[in-house]
Amino acid sequence: MAIIEEPLALEAGEDAVARVERPLGDLTRPQADGSWKDWLFTVDHKKIGIMYGVAAMFFFVIGGAEALLIRIQLATPNGTLLSPEVYNQVFTMHGVTMIFLVIMPLAAAFANYLLPLQIGARDVAFPRMNALSLWIFLFGGIFLNTAWLFGGGADGGWFNYAPNSSVTFSPSNGIDFYALGLQITGIASLVSAINLITTVMNMRPKGMTLMRMPIFTWMNLVVQFLLLFAVPVISIALFQLTFDRLFGSVFFNTEAGADPLLWQHLFWIFGHPEVYILILPSFGIISEVIPTFSRKPIFGYKFMVISGVAIGFMGWGVWAHHMFVSGIGPISVAAFSLSTMFIAVPTGVKILNWLATIWGGRLRFTTAMLFAVGVVSMFTIGGLSGVTHSIAPADTQQTDTYYIVAHFHYVIFGGALLGIFSGFYFWWPKMFGYMLNERIGKWNFWLQIVGFNVTFGPMHILGLQGMSRRIDTYDEDFGFEFWNLVASIGSFIIAAGIAIFFYNIFYSRSQWKKAGMPNPGPDPWDARSLEWMTASPTPEHNFDEDIVVEGPDEFWHRKYGYDENHNVVRIATAEEVAQDGSNTNVHLPSPSYYPIVLAAGLPIIAYGLIFSLWLCIPGAALLIWGMVGWIFEHPDDPNAAHDHHDDHHDDDDPEALETGDDDDDAKELVAASADAGDEN
């Protein structure tokens, strides 16, 4: 990592800035000056993580508003708030937003912020590519939502089955926005997957072996591998859809003999690993929270790791259980039934291990812990209803009913989202330097969990009664009125809970300011992993000096030892162990303009593909400017006295070999441009 104890001195009599030749369009590298530009051009993984979180919460409000519209429409029979056409768009955009623009980026927020910290690194392997992922995701998400301004959102459901997604059945541009928007966010996921895997595999400090990494890091490593292999499959499906809709190919045109199952297979080969992409980060979060507040190490660390990896592998062999009613034949149905039952085993191992960690622990029911326990219980319900889907005859009854809606909300809301809220309360002091108020937090938790169960619990009953999903209204005498009304009331209880969370952020912040901004200290929870071993909020350089790791839960074992009776005793305070973040001489990678420039090109190209190919020219120009500028960008701000000596390769000392910094960046870009080029 980029660490120099002191800034490099300028060579006498030379002005490094003036000596650098600047071709057209080559910008001086931006410098940190404490303004908003620090955020826009940052390559710091912590700022990028926070921006991921802010952007995702913004989309969360949009997706939540869409959910409330759905519930208002369904609260009473023959609802008239939304027309059937608008209703289709609202539930489609709700699903797409929540999955791709909320849960995935929230997980990315935590992964970005915490992965380098938890392994004891100073940044990710490719800081600029990290910024690139953020901006591509953000622009892709905004692009997707601008569909509302151009004739309406996608209306084919989040999985958007062909041939229902063809121009014939969906003539607006909504599905074009869906296909291109998800394509763009897919690039973001791919870039960040490559980056984070490289970081975890390559940048661990001395002693941090793979089997000493925190479970959160492990689960995210598995997720990044899933993204790496799942995203290209959906990319191809989306390309085929785009080509069909815009350029006249016939991949999904059944009149030309196309197989309507092609989309379903490609989508679900991506889609089922996607389920684990959504849930595993949350599993990782509560695997940090539960041991901390049980004051015990995680039960069966190796089993936790191996079961996570096993889920990652087996997740590739269950996709067709989404397709039991599509006529794939009895042998396929039987095979996928079995594999679906099997994948419940490693998940069950995890639930057992969390319970065993809690068992006999000295529990502290902080808000973070409450949310974590909420995940264990709610995900168990969702997991069990998932197992009922593996029984194909039952699934045939339940398919496309509210039973399915109930199931996946128990998994994604009850599992993934509650886990993320647990992470908010747990890591908030580390990220922002103040604690979220616990009393308000508990209101937040109880409203959210009660509202959640009131909303989605009744949907099991509605589904078994035969209420089909994606239906925009129902008649009075179907017997659906009561539970629908209950569910709608529940959805507003959830909304109240979320509103309290936002209130908590501002309330806690103002209380903290009133109290003279006390620092929560490096380790407010008496936690176990390395991110707590540096100051709060995390200093820009993460760690003052590299940590030498001697075992799992390194930080804990520096605080606690054993006395002669083999009892655990505290041997040091957190403040004694933790680094105070006072090292001001750490050299960090400079900010860069080019990630945001490069990313801005993509949505413009996408608008061009939909509306006028001419628009692709400025889009491509931005893209190329971003790439070329990226390659030739100076690795440092000019004041770092960065000079180019062309004669370095004559130097005999191998340590002193000047490899040419432009070239180093070029290599970094080889991967990036290959990514981007491949999507052209």
Partner 1 sequence: MSDAVLTPDDVAGHDVAAHDDHGHHETNTGISNNKLAMWLFLSSDCLLFGALISTFLLYRTNISDNTVWEEPADVFDIPFTSLSSFILLMSSLTMVLALSAVNRDDQRNGRIWLLTTAFLGMVFIGGQVYEFTVFREEGLGFGTNTWTSAFFTLTGFHGVHVSVGILLLLGTVFGTRKSGLGKEKGETVELVGLYWHFVDIVWVIIFTVIYLIPIG
Which of 220, 36, 208 lies closest to 113 in space, CA to CA?
Answer: 220
- Pick the binder of partner 1 from 148, 161, 239, 560 (CB under 8 A): 239
Using left for φ > 0, alpha for ψ between -120 and 50, and beta otherwise, residue 300 falls in left
193 near partner 1, judged by CB under 8 A: yes
8 Å CB contact between 565 and 551: no
What's the closest the beta carbon of residue 27 comes to partner 1, in angstroms?
A: 18
Question: Which CB, 576 or 653, lies closer to partner 1?
Answer: 653
What is the token pair recorded at 471?
Answer: 């239906």
240 near partner 1, judged by CB under 8 A: yes
Q: Which stretch binds partner 1 (CB under 8 A): 282-290, 407-415, 456-464, 669-677?
A: 669-677
In what helix (H) or strand (E) does residue 562 lie, and over which residues does it extend? strand 560-562
For 151-176, give one letter per residue: b (16+ CB within 10 A) or e: ebbbbbbbbbebbbbbeeebebbbbb
61 near partner 1, judged by CB under 8 A: no
Which of 639, 667, 570, 636 lies closest to 14 in space, CA to CA?
Answer: 639
What is the token pair recorded at 104?
Answer: 């995935």
What's the closest the beta carbon of residue 342 comes to partner 1, in angstroms?
A: 23
What is the token pair recorded at 164?
Answer: 């229902």
For 323-348, give one letter per residue: b (16+ CB within 10 A) or e: bbebebeeebbebbbebbeebbebbe
Q: Which stretch binds partner 1 (CB under 8 A): 4-12, 73-81, 172-180, 424-432?
A: 4-12
Residues β-bridged to residue 570 = 560
What is the token pair recorded at 29?
Answer: 């590298």
What is the token pair recorded at 631?
Answer: 């390659």
Scanning residues 104 to 143, which ones bind partner 1 (CB under 8 A)?
A: 121, 125-127
Question: Which CB, 295 or 587, lies closer to partner 1?
Answer: 587
Q: What are phi and psi of 591, to 5 degrees?
A: -60, 170
Q: What are phi and psi of 305, to 5 degrees?
A: -65, -50
Question: Which CB, 4 or 338, lies closer to partner 1?
Answer: 4
What's the closest the beta carbon of residue 4 comes to partner 1, in angstroms?
A: 5
Burial of 551 (0-12, 13-18, 19+ CB in 10 A): exposed
# binding residues, partner 1 (CB under 8 A): 90
- Pick the binder of partner 1 from 57, 187, 203, 574 (CB under 8 A): 203
652 near partner 1, judged by CB under 8 A: no
- Pick the binder of partner 1 from 12, 24, 256, 515 (CB under 8 A): 256
- Pick the binder of partner 1 from 54, 65, 201, 345 (CB under 8 A): 201
8 Å CB contact between 160 and 178: yes
DSSP string for residues in 219-238:
HHHHHHHHHHHHHHHHHHHH
Scanning residues 515 to 574, which ones bind partner 1 (CB under 8 A)?
A: 545-546
3-state helix, strand, coil in the chain (%, to 5): 70, 0, 30
Question: Which CB, 6 or 477, lies closer to partner 1?
Answer: 6
What is the token pair recorded at 269?
Answer: 């080969």
Quick note: the x/- pattern for partner 1 over 173-192, rule CB under 8 A, is -----------------x--
Scanning residues 452 to 481, which ones bind partner 1 (CB under 8 A)?
A: none
317 near partner 1, judged by CB under 8 A: no
What's the closest the beta carbon of residue 280 comes to partner 1, in angstroms?
A: 18
Question: Which CB, 39 or 239, lies closer to partner 1?
Answer: 239
582 near partner 1, judged by CB under 8 A: no
Rounded Cα gap, residues 279 and 284, in angstroms: 9
User: DSSP character for 195?
Assistant: H
8 Å CB contact between 642 and 652: no
Quick note: the x/- pattern for partner 1 over 11-50, rule CB under 8 A, is x---------------------------------------
Scanning the structure block, which residue is given the tokens 């080029």?
Answer: 677
Q: Which stretch binds partner 1 (CB under 8 A): 174-182, 454-462, 512-520, 627-635?
A: 627-635
378 three-class SS: helix
Scanning residues 368 to 387, which ones bind partner 1 (CB under 8 A)?
A: none
What is the token pair recorded at 340?
Answer: 């679906």
8 Å CB contact between 123 and 45: yes
Other CB atoms within 10 A of residue 300 CB: 17
Beta-strand relationship, 560-562 and 568-570: antiparallel
Q: Which stretch binds partner 1 (CB under 8 A): 173-181, 201-209, 514-522, 612-620?
A: 201-209
User: DSSP character for 548?
Assistant: P
- Pick the binder of partner 1 from 237, 373, 418, 609 (CB under 8 A): 237
Q: Which stretch binds partner 1 (CB under 8 A): 78-86, 101-109, 160-168, 659-667?
A: 659-667
Question: Which CB, 513 or 645, lies closer to partner 1?
Answer: 645
- Pick the binder of partner 1 from 26, 400, 540, 668 (CB under 8 A): 668
236 near partner 1, judged by CB under 8 A: yes
Q: Which stretch binds partner 1 (CB under 8 A): 148-156, 262-270, 301-309, 346-354?
A: 262-270
What's the closest the beta carbon of residue 581 comes to partner 1, in angstroms?
A: 17
Largest Cα separation within the chain, whole Å, is 90
Question: Which CB, 575 or 664, lies closer to partner 1?
Answer: 664
What's the closest the beta carbon of residue 195 comes to partner 1, in angstroms?
A: 7
Question: Which CB, 257 or 393, lies closer to partner 1?
Answer: 257
One-letter-per-residue 3-state SS of 142-190 = HHHHHHHHCCCCCCCCCCCCCCCCCCCCCCCCHHHHHHHHHHHHHHHHH
159 near partner 1, judged by CB under 8 A: no
Q: Which stretch binds partner 1 (CB under 8 A): 199-207, 386-394, 448-456, 594-602?
A: 199-207
211 near partner 1, judged by CB under 8 A: no
